[in-house]
Chain A
Amino acid sequence: MLRPSNIRLRFTLLYGAALTATVVLFSAGIYYFVQSMLINQINNHLRKDLATVANYLRLDPDGLQKLAQMGPVHHFRVRDGNRPLIASQDWQQSGLDPLLGAGNPHPVPDSIRVDGKQLYRVQSQLLPLHDQLYQIVVAHEESNYRRTLNTLALIILLIMPVSVVLSLLVGYLIAGRVLAPIRNITTKAREIGAENLSARLPVSVESNEFSNLAIVFNQTFERLESTFERLRSFTSDASHELRTPLTAIRSIGETALQQQTVSPECRETIGSMLEETDRLVQTVESLLLLSRADSSALLKQPEEVGELLADVIEFLSVLAEDRQQQIVFERNTSLTMPADACMLRRAFLNLVDNAIKYSPEQSRITVRFFQQATGDRIVEIADQGPGIPDDEKQRVFDRFYRLDNGRSRDKGGTGLGLSITRAALEAHGGSIAILNNPGGGTLFRITFPSTADANNSLTRKTPDA
């Protein structure tokens, strides 16, 4: 499923290039070393041959004849001034003569090609002796050495592409091997982000770059988790702390209303205060519910989503009837998953209640539960109300966010309904979005990914703070 990552490709190419360059340099080095070694060898031969011929000239001029026929110096020619004195048999067959000038044409070894075929290495020397000036030229066939060099070059050229391919392959494998821990860490880190912040990346025993990376990641997760935890426990603690004074206010107010002596005006006042207290109590309860959803401290049991929806619709139908609205429930699929029924019910409850609240009388509310081609289960709740402006579509899920300057406050509610809905859905692996309703009005779409069943099997049962 993982396509070759950019880094892997780059590493492979770099590695291949480096290895190829090394092989090229190494081969070139060997080639030139062998070449110069061979040339030196020939040059040495030439020098020795020159010395041999010179010695014969100096000490045994008659022996030259024998030398010319029997060797060991095969190619040589001696001239006395401008007159040919002697040339070996091999020399006469070589055809080198016309290519050599007078005087000292090749004081240092030189390569000469005869008729574009045979290659000879030639060195000449002038030798003054008994008032005469002798020119000695010796030669060696170079073609054999050339053949050796060419074979070497061929071998190198044959090995080169193989080594390039091999180095790319090895580079690719090494890159994969090196990147594997990173892929591991990424996968694990993604799981941790999605599932629970309390999990940690595995740290290998031996200390290396990757274990360091994992450690740094873990430290970040730790900080993240403690921040989350603090926020969560703050919400929860604050809510709990508010309960005692709320209990006192409520008890005092309600017991005061029991007293026969309280005047009707006083009764109104206390009643009004109690109503507000009740709103505060509900806000506190909602905050606790939110922190419970966030902490995923949910008690999950297998539940059928369609059944919960049907329950909620039945439960709220009385409100719709009251406004002469019609709720249409199209139930085309089913989804049984581990769920906190109370929490999930609450999510649907808020959405359907919203639809009823914001739709005009005698309108229609459509709830659809179906499966997409991708396998995702979708719940759509569409109303015919005024809809939600585009720029507010994200913010309506924020805590205490209210549309339309508190119009919703008149209709009751704590301003936490949709945040509870979102938190509850996310705690069940679902997501929610507001789409454009083709028929006008608001369209809430809940998506349960096809893997939601599997994801949620990791149910954690943690007691509430």
Chain B
Amino acid sequence: MRILVVEDEHKIAEALKRGLEAEGYQAVTAASGEEGFFCLSSEPFDLLLLDLMLPGRDGLEILTTLRAKGFTLPVLVLTGRDTVEDRVLGLDSGADDYLVKPFAFPELLARIRLLLRRGRQETDKPLNLADLALNPANHQALRNDQPLELTSREFELLEYLLKHQGHVVSREMLAHDVWKVRERSTPLDNVIDVNIARLRRKVDGPYPLKLIRTIRGVGFMASAEDEHAAPQ
């Protein structure tokens, strides 16, 4: 999978490239809209990561031109502006998704995964991780064949973690996708922490293999790997 990163901040572009490559993507960076345009015209890409605030031609202009020229690849817009108007404008001009800076890298990865497998529906599919089984269809969770007593919020949380198993899930992602709250706040973080702690007690409590892990400073991850192995 080839991803083009159009970002004028050199350090961010480099970090993104490194992170994407660590995830197994091929990443190419471009520092301006014109350069990005040139790359897209000369090589095939599967996804475009586009910063809206660019020197020279604005990111939105690039996007509009691209769509006008018939480019259909998915575009994930990175924006420093987070007003509702800007978001709508971004999506109307042909963006498939957006992230507001400063975004969490795990969330960027999750969005990219989502965009790249777009079209493939996979809701309500039973989820498994080691001896943990989750069935969204009948709201049942089993660990080691023992039913788990989960509140609906805990169930959603576990479902979300399992859907992203092997990948880090940031607090932002949980806030947006599980709690459906647009803005982060300290109380919200506390609520997330308490829910994670309870979920962990119920899911991992008596078992030696801990499935829910905390990645300090980044977020949480459902993984059956050894605690000390590096996260993906």
Q: Which residues of A contact B (CB under 8 A)?
A: 240, 243-244, 246-255, 257-260, 262, 264, 267-268, 270-275, 277-278, 281-282, 285-286, 288-289, 299, 315-316, 318-319, 322, 342, 346, 349-350, 352-353, 412-414, 417, 463-464
Contacts and interface: CB of A to CB of B under 8 A. Distances in A.
B183 A244 contact: no
A274 B218 contact: yes
Contacts of A286: 185
B19 A273 contact: no
A349 B184 CA distance: 12
B177 to A, nearest CB: 16
Given A255-B15, A271-B218, A282-B186, A244 B194 contact: no
B190 A251 contact: no
B116 interface: no
B1 interface: no
B187 A244 contact: no
10 cross-chain pairs, A with B, having the tightest CB-CB distances, nearest first: A274-B217, A271-B216, A255-B19, A271-B217, A254-B105, A353-B187, A251-B15, A247-B102, A246-B102, A464-B83
A285 B184 contact: yes
A247 B105 CA distance: 9
Interface in B75-106: 80-85, 101-106
A250 B9 contact: no
17 contacts: A251-B11, A251-B16, A252-B15, A254-B106, A258-B22, A258-B105, A258-B232, A259-B18, A315-B179, A316-B187, A318-B194, A349-B185, A349-B187, A350-B185, A353-B186, A464-B81, A464-B85
A362 to B, nearest CB: 17
Nearest to B22: A258
B217 A251 contact: no
B209 interface: no
A267 B18 CA distance: 17
Contacts of B23: 258
A341 to B, nearest CB: 10
A257 B231 contact: yes
A346 B186 CA distance: 10
A236 B32 CA distance: 25
A342 B216 contact: no
Contacts of B104: 250, 254
Contacts of B171: 278
B191 A319 contact: yes
Nearest to B11: A248
B189 A412 contact: yes
Contacts of B218: 254, 257, 271, 274
Among B15, B104, B106, B228, the one with the most A-chain Cβ atoms within 10 Å of its Cβ is: B15
A198 to B, nearest CB: 19
B186 A289 contact: no
Contact of B216 (A244, A260, A275, A319): A275
A254 B183 CA distance: 21
A307 B228 CA distance: 45
B114 interface: no
B12 interface: yes
Interface string B146-186: 00000001000000000000000001000000010011111
A186 B78 CA distance: 48
A250 B189 CA distance: 18
A352 B198 CA distance: 21
Contacts of B105: 250-251, 254-255, 258
A258 B102 contact: no
Contact of B187 (A254, A281, A350): A350
Nearest to B84: A299
A318 B188 CA distance: 11
B128 interface: no
